[in-house]
Amino acid sequence: MPRIDIFLLFPQTEEEILRLGDNLDLYKDIPRQLASIIQLIKNGEYKLFYDSENITAFCKQAAILCDGRYLDNIRGQLLYLLGKKALDVAHKNNPNPSHDYYQWFSDTTSVIIKTDILHRYAAENKLSGNDSAIISFSYEDPWNRDIIPLIQESRYNDTLPQICNIPYFNPVGTFIEWYKSKILDNRTFSLTDITRFERTNKLYEKSKRRIYKERSTNRYWYYDFFHSDNKEHYEVFDNTGNHVGEADMNGVLDETKKDKTKSIKGII
């Protein structure tokens, strides 16, 4: 099983916090999501990276928006879950001060400089040949892709710029599906396969599942693992949002499991 380095991003911008609103349950769900990730990867080869200043800013902003209400010590919960095995990059030296990093948005051809330490670490790590992934706990998703394209540049190195594509997961369930498919089970089927599926900016709100559109059929899929028996599967809908059945983890559709009570019409 290959080692993977996982970089964790928590919401802290105004847009990200406003998306969460004053719903305390959404804030309390973030430590639970982190716990589910750690439970999933605990038997594998991995390293977690986080920025404690990012966590502090998240909790400070959340407390303001929630009108000072007690947030169940979310910061303490997150740091406890991360433990001593995770690396806090907040006060580490810049991994390579001569390098600058820019995030490229292909849809708008705009470029934004990335000055935060976590993105720099993730990019340096990826370009050093290590398997890397970024997980965002934010519901704000400005680029709607399963990768973050980062450009490494330096005025002191004539072999640059170069680009690296770092796998990016938002919400957390997308990472769980990818990790199980590609790392644990080495399956060929995954919703993150861009040759077969197109990522949408839609979430199935009841369980915060990312919805994907199948290119060949225009059907909509999302990964479902929230059942008490933990029998993971995919929910599949036609192009109008009506449920057509469930698919197993190899993508085989079973139309006998069609449920007329299930619909995503109000979402797509």
Please list the pLDDT of the chain residue by residue as tens digits (268 residues). Answer: 678 999 999 998 888 888 888 788 888 889 999 999 999 998 888 999 999 999 999 988 888 777 666 566 788 899 999 998 899 999 887 778 888 888 877 666 667 777 788 988 999 999 999 999 999 998 777 667 888 888 888 888 888 888 889 999 987 888 999 898 878 877 889 999 999 999 998 988 766 789 999 999 999 999 987 655 558 899 999 999 999 999 999 999 999 999 999 999 999 8
Q: What is the pLDDT of residue 61?
A: 82
Q: Are residues 202 and 162 in the same domain?
A: no
Within a domain: residue 139?
A: yes
Q: What is the pLDDT of residue 8?
A: 97
Q: Are residues 240 and 159 in the same domain?
A: no
Q: Are residues 200 and 161 in the same domain?
A: no
Q: Are residues 159 and 196 in the same domain?
A: no
Q: Are residues 201 and 132 in the same domain?
A: no
Q: Are residues 136 and 8 in the same domain?
A: yes
Residue that terminates a domain, selected from 146, 172, 198? 172
Within a domain: residue 179?
A: no
> Rounded to whole angstroms, how far apart are CA atoms 166 and 177?
17
Within a domain: residue 268?
A: no
Within a domain: residue 267?
A: no
Query: How are beta strands 87-88 and 46-50 bridged, if at all?
Result: parallel
Residue that terminates a domain, selected from 121, 145, 172? 172
Within a domain: residue 184?
A: no
- If one counts the domains in the chain, the total is 2
Q: Are residues 112 and 224 in the same domain?
A: no
Q: What is the pLDDT of residue 1?
A: 67
Q: Are residues 29 and 145 in the same domain?
A: yes
In order, the DSSP letters of 10-27 are ---SHHHHHHHTT-HHHH
Question: Greatest CA separation found in the chain?
Answer: 62
Q: What is the pLDDT of residue 257?
A: 96
Q: Are residues 29 and 132 in the same domain?
A: yes
Within a domain: residue 178?
A: no
In order, the DSSP letters of 125-170 are HHHTT--EEEEE--S--SS--SEEEEEEE-TT-TT--EEEEEEEES
3-state secondary structure of 35: helix
Q: Which amino acid is at 71?
A: L
Scanning the structure block, which residue is given the tokens 């225009």? 218
Cα dihedral 34, 37, 41, 47 sign:
negative
Q: Are residues 168 and 193 in the same domain?
A: no
Within a domain: residue 182?
A: no
> Rounded to whole angstroms, how far apart are CA atoms 119 and 200?
24
- CA dihedral of residues 176, 8, 153, 14 (deg, nearest 10): 110
Q: Are residues 59 and 160 in the same domain?
A: yes
Residues 6+ apart with CB under 8 A from 131: 2, 3, 4, 5
Residue that terminates a domain, selected from 140, 172, 204? 172
Question: Domain range spanning residue 72?
Answer: 4-172
Q: What is the pLDDT of residue 54?
A: 94
Q: Are residues 226 and 103 in the same domain?
A: no
Within a domain: residue 264?
A: no
